[in-house]
Chain A
Amino acid sequence: MDVKCVRVLRSYEDAKDTKKVIYIDEAARYALIKQWGDSVMVRGRRDVKNVQIKPLKELDQDGFIARASETLIDELYIEYGEEVLLI
Chain B
Amino acid sequence: MERTLGHVGLFRPGDLGGVVYSYFGNIINFIIIAYALQGIGWPDSIIYGRVIPGLAVGLMLGCLAYAWQGYRLAKKTGRKDVTALPSGVSTPAMFVYLYGVIYPLHYSGLSPEMCWMAATAACFLGGFIEMLGGFIGPFIRRLIPRVAMLGTVAGIGLVWMATAGLFEVYHDPILGMPVVVIAIIGLIGGYVFKKRIPMLLVSVVFGIVWALFLGRVQVDTSTLGVSLPVLSIGAVFQGFKYIIPFLSVIIPIEVYNFIETMDNVESAIAAGDEYNVGQTQIIDGVCTMVSALFGSIVPNTVWLGHAGLKKSETGISYSWISAILYALSSVFGLYGFMNSLMPAVVASITFLWCAMLMLVQAYTDVPRRHGAALAIALIPHLADALYTYVRDALGAFGIYLEETLTMNSSDEISQAMINYGVVWKGVVAMHSGAIITSILWATVVAFIIDRRLDKASIAFVVASVLSFFGFIHSPALVVGVATMSFPYAVGYLLAAVICYAIHLGHKKIMDVPRRYDYV
Contacts and interface: CB of A to CB of B under 8 A. Distances in A.
A34 B269 CA distance: 14
Given A2-B270, A34-B78, A83 B515 contact: no
A45 B369 CA distance: 10
Interface in B334-381: 360-361, 364-369
B271 A1 contact: yes
A79 B271 contact: no
B452 interface: yes
Given A45-B450, A45-B451, A82-B515, A1 B367 contact: no
B365 A1 contact: yes
Interface string B408-451: 00000000000000000000000000000000000000000011
A78 interface: yes
A83 B369 contact: yes
A35 interface: yes
Contact of B77 (A34, A44, A46, A77): A34
Contacts of B361: 1
Interface in A1-59: 1-2, 4-5, 31, 34-35, 44-46
Contact of A77 (B269, B272, B368, B451): B451
B507 interface: no
A65 interface: no
Of the candidates B274, B367, B451, B452, the one having the most CB atoms from chain A within 10 angstroms of its own CB is B367
Interface in A49-87: 77-79, 82-85
Nearest to A28: B272
Interface in B236-275: 269-272, 274
A76 to B, nearest CB: 10
A83 B76 contact: no
Contact of B514 (A5, A31, A77): A77
Contacts of B473: none
Contact of A5 (B78, B274, B367): B367
Contacts of A84: 367
A2 B271 contact: yes
A4 B150 CA distance: 14
Of the candidates A34, A45, A46, A78, the one having the most CB atoms from chain B within 10 angstroms of its own CB is A45
Nearest to B360: A1
A5 B452 contact: no
Contacts of B367: 5, 82-85
Contacts of A4: 270, 365
Contacts of B50: none
A79 B274 contact: no
Contacts of A44: 450
Given A34-B77, A79-B515, A5 B365 contact: yes
B146 interface: yes
A34 B271 contact: no
A44 B367 CA distance: 9
Contacts of A78: 514-515
A2 to B, nearest CB: 5
Nearest to A32: B274
Nearest to B369: A82
Contacts of B78: 34
Contacts of B451: 45, 77
A84 B367 CA distance: 6
B368 A83 contact: yes
A83 B272 CA distance: 18
A35 B73 CA distance: 10
Interface string B268-303: 011110100000000000000000000000000000
13 contacts: A5-B146, A5-B364, A5-B365, A31-B77, A34-B78, A35-B274, A44-B450, A45-B451, A79-B514, A82-B368, A83-B367, A83-B368, A84-B367
Given A2-B269, A5-B270, A31-B77, 12 more contacts: A1-B272, A1-B365, A2-B365, A5-B367, A35-B274, A46-B450, A77-B514, A78-B514, A79-B514, A83-B366, A85-B146, A85-B366
Interface of A: 1-2, 4-5, 31, 34-35, 44-46, 77-79, 82-85
